[in-house]
Amino acid sequence: KGAAPQFVREHTFTIDGSFPFNTNGGQLSVGQAGAAGGYLGMVEALRQLTGQAGTTQVARAEIGLVSGFGMINYDRGICTAAALLARSQT
């Protein structure tokens, strides 16, 4: 059902893959910061788009999608958000 299984089979999600995903390792890589980790994805996307990601830099990064699960209540999410960032073409 749906296109997701085929998409996953046809792409690789590593830094040098066809669909780089979670390029900084996520919150578990920085100690599971909980509510304090809300900007980790945003910072990583900005680093990728400005060419400042160092060894985890995605070649030709042009678009970043950041999602968040905020106001942690541990038995249910109170809110979610997403931001789509793009590198300036100027």
Q: Which pLDDT belongs to residue 64?
A: 94
Domain ranges of the chain: 4-86
DSSP SS3 for 70: strand
pLDDT tens for 4-51 read 999 999 999 999 999 999 898 877 777 666 666 667 888 999 999 999
DSSP SS3 for 60: coil
Q: Which pLDDT belongs to residue 44?
A: 92
Average pLDDT over residues 56-70: 88
Task: Find the helix or strand (DSSP H, E) in which 8 lies.
Answer: helix 4-10
Average pLDDT over residues 63-76: 75
Give the number of other Cβ atoms within 10 Å of residue 87's Cβ.
Answer: 15
Q: Which pLDDT belongs to residue 19?
A: 93
Q: Which pLDDT belongs to residue 74?
A: 65
DSSP state of 58: P
Is residue 81 within 8 Å of 68, Cβ to Cβ?
yes
